[in-house]
Structure 1
């Protein structure tokens, strides 16, 4: 983009540019002081971004920024450098929580990402490629995306933005025009331009709450391995399903909740509590903490060619 001379713009357009600039600057003034540079200590070094969410030194970043480290070095915009410990991490959402060894002067608020709309201003703050406290701005390109985490699991409710992100932005905040953190910057598509992703603030809020209460994010466990397969049309019609795929159980662990509930290798899982299961990602998504110790109805197509319902009592997934 070339230089824009405001003197040759219509007065209304110049006012709009000024209003946009003030909006971005105000949001950065509000959240920027809470953004830290995070350096991994021990083992293989690395760095990224993070942001404080409380005055007692609680910081959100990405799981892939801290990886297996137990300690990190934190540097804040006001010149404070201190160490911090990793309180907990969740590879499934690429979120980690750090506790700084000292109190922090600034912190940011997590907003309600469900209130976002496409086209709204999105501002990223972080430390891309070592250039500390860099600000980029764009718009919310799409909502409700799903992207695959480094461990292969799908992260749901992801925000797509065209705000420029680069290595080092990971873990930094995506900020709304109101100065609220609406996402945690997490990924870019290599080779693409204008496509970047942030874990939604609502997901981050849930993960932080779980980590602070339980030390990890609880998820339900039934003891199976599975893959996504084509669903025969006749089976879909008979079961009242619209999709063309389902989940086939490759293995059922002996003595597991699935085994005790009567699921067997080769069964197709069609639905859980009437919610369709069109693939492994759906199965993972439906086995959330709310299903722990709550009996669920699994609609299956078994090896004998019959559709039946099995009752399964999920347990908490082992750490």
Structure 2
């Protein structure tokens, strides 16, 4: 049986990515916006990170566990059969469940976007039994990050770590509510970082953390924590095959950045430049050179521009079909996913340096990214 990939919340998302990523046209001003300091979306820990040692998993869970919440959602959906033929009520109630974790003592909670997508009612339950009605401040389907707010004070808070410093082999501890079993703890190791080729739902702009910690439906939105008792990721998806299982988490640094944007404006910001890309290999280069009359490409590995969308920042900057993209803001890139992630780390309206290779010569072009239209997300 082929491997199956599924999101681990109530809503199942299944789309696939191919090697050709189209960055579509968008609207937005050309003037650079005034840079404001990002909003505070998490409180600083009151104690130093735990030091790895004996019973480190127990101590890490004791520290983060009180801040892990269960999120129950309800959504009213139309029942056409009931409306037309009187077969039941005209609306039906659809229920879902996931996890989340408190990042501010005044009730700010991180979770997955697919956990709260389309929900009419959101209820948040703490491990100590307290229950609150939640409000979804916003969600971003491209990164699967959402922020929920409850009216409360002095809530337990999870300390956020630094996901940029993770290495394969480190401890990875998952806490969540799989199948409604509250505060279930599982542990494994980090199997890989910056996983961009996992074909996970709509997460085109996420360098996933891959682990072998067991997660299941209901774990979505719950924290992945380190041996130091800090949240390093948000559990999002699983990929199962006979005899094995893999799980994937959104890095906490990315989740924090998206949450800051949601708290500031109610939505996430995704820069766009307007190129269609494909991974170039020596074999593909030879095929292009043998069949195409438009251009000749070097017989190397790289990121090939196969098309430039009209009236986009890329076209305005002078990027052309058959260019090779070598770096974004001085960061080398080797495949289309790395280009997309590098572009997404930029800011709308802020100049971005794109290094290209054309006719054997490298040059750096300045691109002014625009905002990705909501209809294209």
Report the TM-score when normalising by structure 1: 0.78
Contact 1:247 1:279 in 2 (8 A): no
Q: Distance in 2 between matches of 1:117 and 1:263?
A: 36
Alignment of 1:81-230 (within 5 A): 81-103=131-153, 105-146=155-196, 147-151=198-202, 153-156=204-207, 158-191=208-241, 193-228=244-279, 230=281
Q: Take 1:123 and 1:188, find their aligned partners in 2: how far apart are those partners?
A: 15
Residue in 2 that maps onto 1:10:
none
- Give the aligned partner of residue 55 of structure 1: 105
Using the TM superposition, name which of 271-280 and 284-293 deviates more: 271-280
1:60–1:96 CA contact under 8 A, matched in 2? yes
Number of residues of Structure 1 aligned to a counterpart in Structure 2: 289
Is it true that 1:299 corresponds to 2:343 in the alignment?
A: no
**Unaligned 5+ runs, structure 1:** 1-18
Q: 1:152 to 1:102 in 2, by over 3 A?
A: closer
| 2: CA distance, partners of 1:117 / 1:278 | 20
Which ranges of structure 2 fall in alignment gaps of 5 or more residues?
1-52, 77-93, 287-295
Is residue 73 of structure 2 the alignment partner of residue 40 of structure 1? yes
Give the 3-state SS of the residue equivalent to 1:174 in structure 2.
Answer: strand
Match of 1:252 among 309, 318, 325: 309
Residue matched to 2:297: 235
* Pair 276,138 (structure 1): closer, same or farther in 2 beyond 3 Å: closer
Are 2:302 and 2:324, in contact at CA under 8 Å, matched by a contact in 1?
no
- Distance in 1 (CA, whole Å) between partners of 2:278 and 2:194 is 24
Which of the pair is proportionally richer in helix?
1
- Mapped to 1, the partners of 2:167 and 2:275 lie a distance apart of 38
CA distance in 2 between partners of 1:180 and 1:228 (Å): 36
Provide the C-alpha distance between the structure 1 equivalents of 2:195 and 2:354, rounded to a whole number of angstroms: 28
**Map of 1:317 onto structure 2:** 372
Instruction: Choose 274-283 or 144-153, whichever is displaced more.
Output: 274-283
State the match for 2:126 in structure 1.
76
Match of 2:337 in 1: 281
| Cα root mean square deviation, aligned | 2.9
CA distance in 2: counterparts of 1:98 and 1:245, whole angstroms: 38
| 8 A Cα contact 1:210 1:218, kept in partner | yes
The offset of 1:35, in angstroms, is: 0.7
CA distance in 1, matches of 2:355, 2:164: 30
Extract structure 1 runs of 4+ deviating beyond 6 A.
305-308
